[in-house]
């Protein structure tokens, strides 16, 4: 199914050093993160690193590989932190190997790494992390299809964390079991979702923010029906709307993680951000999509 995605300006950086005569993977993860994220994701993160290194032909058995992460993107469920990490690792490995890779090759390496976190990733997060901007993305039987969108006018957005770290692979597995238990119900939700995406793309292209905001609200309702929202997300979504956001929804895996609010204008953005903090958000960020 198609989806609309926007990359934030914050970033994850990575440095890789190849150590002749050494063996194994070492390094540090200096990314900012919500409490518990790195512990919860430790095994998935380590597997993702191995998958990227293996895909890129970077032998970590007959040489040492030191991987150091930094940057200002907070590692939190729902923001695409895992994709930012795998894509930045792919770029760093290429630099260490003295190779010049295309963005497509970097994206593919990032996708391989995402398998460590998600099992069967859609490819949307690593694509957004690789190319940036606002994209229309669709997974296909072959290579994914995506189109870069250029907004007529920039728009302010607020996103906030519940502080809960969710396991994407576990949530995906649970949704898959619900789908298998009631195919008709799931097909009905997908049909509604596809209509929302089509309308959302039209509103996005026209910079019709009130219409897009309403569609975000409807999308959140579908996420609730799919059981991937939770009371903490719903509380933040409701608080954002009450403070003047013209639309708000959960983001990413759900059952924790992030929500986002559409807040055209700096005044609205500041007001909604303050309201989300008062409503109990673990962290709040402000950005602009352009």
Catalytic residue annotation:
125
Q: Are 256 and 165 in contact (CB under 8 A)?
A: yes
> Rounded CA gap, 288 and 290, in Å?
6
Distance CA 163, CA 208 (A): 31
Residues in the chain: 290
CB 21 within 8 A of CB 213: no
Paired with 157 in beta bridges are 262, 287
Contact yes or no for 258/79 (Cβ under 8 A): yes
Q: Is-contact 12 29, C-beta < 8 A?
A: no
Which residues is 87 bridged to in the sheet?
none
Start-to-end CA distance of the chain, whole Å, equals 24
CA 89 – CA 40 distance, rounded (Å)? 20
* Burial zone of 159 (CB within 10 Å; 0-12 exposed, 13-18 middle, 19+ buried): buried
């Amino acid at each position: 199914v198609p989806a609309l995605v926007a990359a934030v300006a914050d970033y994850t950086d990575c440095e890789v050093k190849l150590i002749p005569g050494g063996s194994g993977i070492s390094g540090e993860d200096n990314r900012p993160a919500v409490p518990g994220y790195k512990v919860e994701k430790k095994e998935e993160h380590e597997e993702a690193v191995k998958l990227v290194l293996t895909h890129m032909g970077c032998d970590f058995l007959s040489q040492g590989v030191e991987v150091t992460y930094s940057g200002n993107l907070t590692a939190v469920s729902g923001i695409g932190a895992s994709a930012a990490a795998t894509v930045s690792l792919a770029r760093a490995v290429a630099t260490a190997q003295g190779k010049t890779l295309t963005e497509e090759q970097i994206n593919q390496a990032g996708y391989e790494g995402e398998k460590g976190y998600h099992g069967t990733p859609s490819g949307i997060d690593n694509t957004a992390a690789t190319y940036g901007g606002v994209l229309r993305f669709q997974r296909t039987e072959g290579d994914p299809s995506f189109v870069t969108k250029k907004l007529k006018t920039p728009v302010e957005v607020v996103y906030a964390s519940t502080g809960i770290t969710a396991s994407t692979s576990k949530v995906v597995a649970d949704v898959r079991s619900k789908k298998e238990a009631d195919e008709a119900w799931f097909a009905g939700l997908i049909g509604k979702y596809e209509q929302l995406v089509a309308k959302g793309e039209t509103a996005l292209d026209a910079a019709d923010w009130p219409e897009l905001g309403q569609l975000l609200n409807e999308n959140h309702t579908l996420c609730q029906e799919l059981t991937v929202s939770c009371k903490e997300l719903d509380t933040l979504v409701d608080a954002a709307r009450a403070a003047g956001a013209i639309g708000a929804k959960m983001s990413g895996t759900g059952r924790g993680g992030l929500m986002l609010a559409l807040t055209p204008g700096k005044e609205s953005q500041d007001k909604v951000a303050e309201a989300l903090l008062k409503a109990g958000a673990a962290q709040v960020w402000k950005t602009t999509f352009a």
